[in-house]
Structure 1
């Protein structure tokens, strides 16, 4: 039986993809100490956009110095960072002469598309790194729940500071549009700040941002509303990991909490570009509840897919009338032409795990071979 659903065109906002294989956001630590995307990053994204019509989502990108606390990840608040992401035609002559990289232009030259993932770290930030970078507010979160013995107890954000974070997300989104990105994805997963507000294992507030399903959803919903007003809902997406246990997460029953958020997004922002969700590690847990609530809008799923399982999942989704896209992480970092390899049933390069997080190194980043 032919299984071609994964290679049918898809519509995400104003973007028409040639297929439904997506590059998942992955931290790779190849940026400068000042959080400026490097020339290595240009080549990395250029390679992974080599199959025309591919959608890429960047690694998590810090929205403000106070929202960081992880070394060698990119940012989107300074002129240097914006220029490094920016399309070439937007650069001033002076910046061009400096040789700053242009990630977006490299992707668009390949007739592919790219969304920037906006990121705030929260309670798992490196306190010493924050201080070294001049951040004096300390490590913050939704509440004061300590993630583990390696991190200090976080300070709950005040309501005023929460408003500042929303404004930083908006600034990051506007900067992304200025840089030529096709859209943005809010990092609402994996135990980082937005996720820390959503889940009751981290959010022990008793004010309007905690204590109930509706209150815990308030911060992400305010972010999405502000971003939709600023750049248009069709350029805005958000990622969730309802079943994830990374960094001390996982509610006893995440279904009611995330169902409320997804239903509310569908009611208030039906033109949102997509929702992105990480699949659970094992059954009976599943993303079916999100997929049903969000259908027929675009849905990106990720988490442990192989070419074979992705082909099967896409075919089943198409039969059910779902608008499904499948994101790959490790297989895509090791196979810059992954969509071609999947479609033509070509063997995959194995990934080299020791080089996943190697600041400054091209090895394991831009030296994986293309298929013959």
Structure 2
């Protein structure tokens, strides 16, 4: 039976403790790569406004865009790193902007390897790598299989970056093991063809993500660590033949730790970025995350992402996820609505997002020019709502 309930009256606005954070609601800004960093992978100053604006309702969880854990992983133009002093300094200002609104901040951290642009890696004089020497569809360049030393170095890079995030004031880190990026390339039996201790079996393919998680937990504490997984996504060719077997093994191993992670972030089948962003043929539609949630068994909260609208998110929390501590990620609509939480709670119309401006490198267009609602500005007259043009605000 489907529950008809207004979002404002639903579990979307039931507070929830997540790690050490006391969230006031369950609407989350998820990681959104938007290429607004400079050519040295340093966040541009106007990014502090973007993140701070979306933290404007106190008690909101803000998760950063995916951030490289070493200069070797800065493999696409204008994505960020959290490695150099200048990068850390810039991110510190962003974290402060979020905290100034009495909201919370997690940094998503990743490696890219074969998801990097081969020509950029060549330009930098860096090795183009992956779990195995398997080319990505549509590319002629074949990556080189990572060596044992490189694998150990990447584990340490995750640890070093996590420490820097906490040192900069962040509330925690979300480890990216989804959507065909580094850790997901080891999980995928379509990409990982290794025959050593890092490939072959389900256990060996999961080894790297589990070792990264455990190392980061040892460094900063489990309540400051989260993990993102995309069981059903075929993005960038990282498919798995035995989805349930692969991910149930990971979940069971995580639950052997003494302390639960802050949260688990899961992408539903409807959230495959290949279908949502590039128009690829959807895969695994109709399949659910139930097998993971049942095994996880409320060990810690779970964030779900799947192209939700306010009404469908409310229904999901009241029906499908009623027995679990679930939060909902809103990507495109949080981009287009800095006051999204307020709008949902008050039942206000949402700004429409403009897909052509999603990835305008180093530009504020389609980034800081989406308006706050008149109602929000009336309720919070001291909000940092600086007009950037005649159409900046309603």
TM-score range, shorter chain: over 0.9
From 70, 76, 81, give the equivalent of 1:70.
76
CA distance in 2, matches of 1:347, 1:292: 35
Q: Which residue of 2 aligns with 1:245?
A: 234
CA contact (8 A) 1:295 1:323 kept: no
Residues 151 and 126 of structure 1, relative CA distance in 2, 3 Å threshold: farther
Partner of residue 89, structure 2: 83
DSSP-derived class of the 1:226 partner: helix
Does 2:360 match 1:358? yes
Q: Does 1:131 align with 2:122?
A: yes
Once the two structures are TM-superposed, the CA of residue 251 in structure 1 deviates from its matched residue by: 1.6
Question: What do the CA deviations read for 1:79-128 (whole angstroms, capped 9, x no partner)?
Answer: 00011111xxxxxxxxxxxxxxx101100000001100101001121122
1:41 aligns with 2:47: yes
Structure 2: segments with no counterpart, 5+ residues = 271-283, 375-394
Secondary structure, in 3 states, of the residue corresponding to 2:256?
helix
User: Would you identify which runs of 4 or more consecutive aligned residues in structure 1 move more than 4 Å?
Assistant: none
Give the TM-score taking structure 2 as reference length: 0.87
SS of the equivalent of 2:245 reads: helix
Q: Which residue of 2 is the match for residue 144 of structure 1?
A: 133
CA contact 2:74–2:80 (8 Å) conserved in 1: no
The answer for the alignment partner of 1:310 in structure 2 is: 313
CA distance in 1, matches of 2:115, 2:162: 23
Where do 1:268-283 residues align within 5 Å?
268=257, 270-281=259-270, 283=285
Out of 180, 186, 189, the position equivalent to 1:191 is: 180
Alignment of 1:6-45 (within 5 A): 6-45=12-51
Deviation at 1:151? 4.9
Query: Residue by residue, what CA displacement relative to the aligned partner does 1:258-309 show, whole Å, maximum 9, x if unpaired?
Result: 1100111112254211110110026431111111111212101102111111
Q: Deviations over 1:160-191 (max 9, x none)?
A: 11000000000110010111110000111010
CA–CA distance in 1 between the matches of 2:359 and 2:240? Answer: 29
Q: Distance in 2 between matches of 1:196 and 1:151?
A: 18
C-alpha distance in 2 between matches for 1:114 and 1:254: 31
| Contact residue 55 and residue 112 of structure 1 kept, 8 A | yes
Counterparts of 1:32 and 1:45, CA distance in 2: 17
- Per-residue CA distance 1:3-34 (angstroms, 9 max, x = gap): 42110111111111110000010000001111
Instruction: Give the TM-score, by structure 1 length.
Output: 0.92
Which of residues 345, 351, 368 in structure 2 aligns to 1:349?
351
> What CA RMSD, in Å, does the superposition of the two structures yield over aligned residues?
1.3
Give the number of aligned pairs: 354
Partner of 1:119: 110
Q: Distance in 1 between matches of 2:286 and 2:37?
A: 39
265-274 or 60-69, which moves further after superposition?
265-274
Which residue number in structure 2 is paired with residue 90 of structure 1?
A: none
- 8 Å contact kept, 1:23–1:332: yes
Is 1:258 aligned to 2:260, yes or no? no
* Mapped partners of 2:167, 2:70: distance in 1: 17
Structure 1 residues without counterparts, runs of 5 or longer: 87-101
The answer to whether residue 377 in structure 2 is matched with residue 336 in structure 1 is no
Mapped contact 1:124–1:151 kept (Cα < 8 A): no
Whether the 8 Å contact between 2:187 and 2:240 is mirrored in structure 1 is no
Alpha-carbon distance in 1 for matches of 2:47, 2:109: 17
Provide the residue aligned with 1:91 in structure 2: none
Q: Conserved in 1, the CA contact under 8 Å of 2:53 and 2:339?
A: yes
